[in-house]
Structure 1
């Protein structure tokens, strides 16, 4: 219990990383476990930066990439991260790369062009390769080529890589042309391909409501709290923490998994296409960034949404990753839902490091 981890630590690989649009660090979990040294991470969102700092330390900075001096950024072997997906999936507006936020994509290109890392990894929503956005996507690939990178891209499903979630994302990997090779996407390891289901990743977590009743003294009595309220502070008394109390080292898996860490609809759901009760014997639908519509619903405790810890596990983040309780529940969900599935980042990071080591002709 409490040592869930799908990103085993690899030895240091000697490569440095600048992480842009780092979010709360779910992708960083994978890259660090793959052996990289992340020297700088940036994001615009203050809650995401707070979560990242809480888990990884001070090298993260809250900054607007449009404002930052490119020369002030460190030179690294790899640049990791893709601009927020809203740029390309502006619902119904079709603004795409011309939208206000779409400028970030061109700014990202400018940073790569100036910094000339050996490689970059860009992750984005699958909407990027749909018919409507395909011209933008092709233009982007063309630009990457022009600034000196050999490009390979692929739409990957997290479920193919040992994650209990049908999450499809587009990954673009660019290798600087003087290294004279093209990235090859990794094949799933033995036993990873479409095998992991919800039971494997959340099956050992206690039922949240019964947990509350077993330890009522440890909790503020307010029960489930409003989505934008900061969760009430857990009241501790001056005595050693009993096992079974979130924060006890043995019970890392209970952090972010209490009756204050899930969203319950105010009225009955209409269980449509979007609000689907999940099955323990299948992977989850995509974990989204918003809390209140289009939710995968807990298989046995409907109508509640998955707790934040359950969402983290479905995103393949280890129990050692914790979201601080002074971040509102809606922001916690957003951080987890916007993240890159940690194990997918781990796979790509490992493959990239191996190829940079053994294929580079420079």
Structure 2
């Protein structure tokens, strides 16, 4: 597989866990590229904007010919569609990067395509980008479907929605992953399941790389640790004295409404009780994490630790995104948070990939070979 707009490599990590050979990644974010390169030893990282690279260069880096790639995945930058971007829409230049994905699809001609984005894409510009992606892939000979997947229903300890497109040119049905968690299935993976084993920290504390303070307390923690013996990317942002005072009033599951009026930020003193519902939220041990964004700032949402008077660390955010602990993020803490928040949870990526792999293995080879012959004669 080849991963376009790969970021730190959450989607490709999920595909790798499912058994795919990750050949190439591309992203314009240099720090994310450092993380991808360090965590994908066997892959080639092509740095810089995708506009700088041709389809033939991707194929050369992957050591493949046109039509030989099994799957091309990609997640064009989503801020142009995000509900957190109040000026969102198709006028945002980031909203047109899906066309670059289609350009590479045309030049590489993979058997399968996977494209993911935020659910806001369905409404921004009256859903124009969704229609353009579907029609673009269909014009290139792909059968394609889209679906909104809930990450928590596949074992990710976080409320997260992603719009996923899956298509193929080999005549196969689209294999959507079956839900594994929720009512009637396995219980959701909770905040406690995800992070209760990580070393305790106080506000502003940075102990560097440290050993685990206790054994795994859940199957999820054991899976995230793997063979790791040390905890990386685990330091607490130093919050101001007034923010510490505010946090002291907030119980698990609470929010800005629990802060005494005189301690509220000036702008929030005028807020209605129905406004800013997630600001200054404290997570509940037995609940799910809120959606991890590119900045786990208590002013933005529920990013206060359930039992400690501090905001979340990069490692805790990475756990909520289901990144394994050996996956070390490069750059400053701010840059690390961006990489984690922009990523597709590997566990969700793995569920998508396993569905594809099952379908690929069951698709008659004669059908795929016939399509390759057509390409060769085109």
- TM-score, structure 2 normalization: 0.75
Partner in structure 2 of residue 278 of structure 1: 283
Partner in structure 1 of residue 176 of structure 2: 185
Partner in structure 1 of residue 231 of structure 2: 254
Q: Which has the higher helix share?
A: 2
Partner in structure 2 of residue 3 of structure 1: none
Partner in structure 2 of residue 5 of structure 1: none
Alignment partner for residue 265 of structure 1, among 214, 239, 242?
A: 239
Shift in CA distance, 300/65, structure 1 to aligned 2, threshold 3 Å:
same
Dislocated runs of 4+, deviation >4 Å: 190-194, 231-234, 241-244
1:317 equivalenced with 2:323 (yes/no): yes
CA RMSD of aligned residues (A): 2.7
Shift in CA distance, 144/242, structure 1 to aligned 2, threshold 3 Å:
closer
Pairwise CA distance, 1:161 = 0.5
1:92 equivalenced with 2:86 (yes/no): yes
Partner in structure 1 of residue 196 of structure 2: 203
1:357 equivalenced with 2:353 (yes/no): no
Pairwise CA distance, 1:243 = 8.1
1:164 equivalenced with 2:148 (yes/no): no
Map 1:140-151; keep pairs closer than 5 Å: 140-151=133-144
Indicate the structure (1 or 2) with the bigger Cα radius of gyration.
2
**Residues 2-22 of structure 1: CA distance to partner in whole angstroms, max 9, x if unpaired?**
xxxxxxxxxxxxxxx111111
Preserved CA contact (<8 Å) 1:21 1:81: yes
Unaligned runs of 5+ in 2: 214-225, 247-254, 257-275, 369-378
Preserved CA contact (<8 Å) 2:71 2:110: yes
Instruction: Report the Cα distance in structure 2 between the residues aligned to 1:71 and 1:61, rounded to whole angstroms.
Output: 13
Pairwise CA distance, 1:87 = 3.2
Partner in structure 2 of residue 44 of structure 1: 28
Partner in structure 2 of residue 212 of structure 1: none
Alignment partner for residue 344 of structure 1, among 337, 343, 348?
A: 348
Higher relative contact order (CA 8 A, sep 6+): 1
Instruction: Report the Cα distance in structure 2 between the residues aligned to 1:133 and 1:252, rounded to whole angstroms.
Output: 49
Unaligned runs of 5+ in 1: 1-16, 210-222, 226-230, 235-240
Count of residues in Structure 1 that have an aligned counterpart in Structure 2: 310
- TM-score, structure 1 normalization: 0.78
